[in-house]
Amino acid sequence: MVCTDNDPQRIAALKAGVVPIFEAHLETLLNSNRRPRKLTFTSNAGEAVRAGDVIFICVGTPPLENGEADLSAIDNVARLIASEAGGSKLVVEKSTVPAKTGQQLKRVLDIYRRDGGIQFRVASNPEFLREGTAVQDFLHPDRIVLGVEDDTSEQQLREVYRPILEGRFRCPIHLGNCRAKQPSELLITTMNSAEIIKHASNSFLALKISYANMIADLCEKVGADIQEVTRAMGLDPRIGPQFLHAGLGFGGFCLPKDVQAFIRLAERSGVDFNLLKEAERINKRRIDVFLEKIRRALWVINGKCVGILGLAFKANTDDIRFAPSLEIIRSLLAEGARVRAYDQEAMDKIAALYPQIECTREPYDVVRDADALLILTEWEAFRHLDWERVHGLMSRPLVIDGRNLLDPTTMREKGFEYYGFGRPIENMDLRLTLSNAPKFSPTGASA
């Protein structure tokens, strides 16, 4: 397998065995295949194109200002493949793209091919990897979707995935023998269906998260506990427990951009997707709801020392793209707070964006003399901190938990003021204040 990228520094790092992102088990997996030359890296894209019979396009499709997917990288790669290919190729979309992109890709390949005798076949193979568990998800997929137009493409892709489907992949990391607990489902579809599947799946997950957050708001007002409610809901096999976690909403690079792109696709197709628009609106407001909790608890933010645990958009990654921490830090600084922060993987990225905040090298330094502690990422290590020590270090033992990571009763028994999402609030005055709080726009201004 030959891998290429247009960033020569990234390729140089990979050749040296250094993975430029944090992803559990990835470095071990890459190095175990790099040494026997099963996996090579090159900055010469033409070399990579000529070496492969099957070419996977794995470039980014970030959102444009109008929310549509930016497909310029797909177009650039397609023209490069067409000009560099020395023979016929199967070109596979791995990137998340709108429906009918495969048809456009095939058209570009045919237009720019340098030799009329070269034939390009195109397929769609959407990825369903989650940051933080990408290696596990790749080796133990619940389904593999192949959107193909011909039998030859299907057979080639079946052969590519055969070691995983048959459980024959020799795994160098401690994930068992890489045989899935249940056989992976192989789905053969049209290209248009395969392209829709990825956007439809991510958008449905976004709907579940936004629904859980609205239930959390209702729980706060009636004195119920969102954890008890969603646990009972999740036991229903028709619903399931995944993505019913209330808090700061969905962030990261995939869900926000895929929701926007799916909405725009629906609009261009004449379908009114107000349901998804509302889920997006609910999600954007979660940060305003959280900021209002901070304001109500602290009364005055100006001059207060606020500690932050967690900067990445989710645990087990260093990715801060569309992370709630970005907007929360910006708002706190604008209101005059002194901000300290800690994240075991994402601190350098945040420090580059916000040099005015203090990034600490251990979590206990964050809370020293702090007036409030915010939990913005659900790192498991935060759950197991010495909370008695934390209590003793803080100027005011106030914890506002944006991920519902901690148990409210336990925290209050330890002497903390504790507030989460959709959890019973002991302080009735604060509960009433939050219930009557003004709604805030996504920019933080009063509506």
Neighbours of 158 (CB within 10 A): 15
Angle subtended at Cα 409 by Cα 403 and Cα 414, rounded to the nearest 5 degrees: 100
Buried/exposed code over 12-26 (b: 16+ C-beta within 10 A; e: otherwise): eebeeeeeeebbbbe
Please tell me what DSSP assigns to residue 303. Answer: T
Length of the chain: 447
Q: Which helix (H) or strand (E) holds 340?
A: strand 338-342
Contacts of residue 229, defined as CB under 8 A and 6 or more positions apart, other chains included, come to 215, 219, 422
Nearest to 375 by CA among 343, 348, 330, 409: 343
Angle subtended at Cα 171 by Cα 168 and Cα 172, rounded to the nearest 5 degrees: 155
Nearest to 333 by CA among 186, 211, 444, 427: 444
Please give the Cα distance from 433 to 412 (Å, whole number). 20
Q: How far is CA 334 from CA 114, 122, 338, 367, 379, in A?
A: 55, 50, 10, 21, 27
Please give the Cα distance from 30 to 434 (Å, whole number). 49
Please give the Cα distance from 208 to 202 (Å, whole number). 10
250 residue type, one letter: F
Please tell me what DSSP assigns to residue 177. Answer: B
Collapsing DSSP states into helix, strand and coil, what is residue 57? strand
Output Rg (C-alpha) for the chain, integer angstroms: 24
Please tell me what DSSP assigns to residue 105. Answer: H
444 residue type, one letter: G
Which residue is associated with the tokens 């992370």?
323
Active site residues: 254
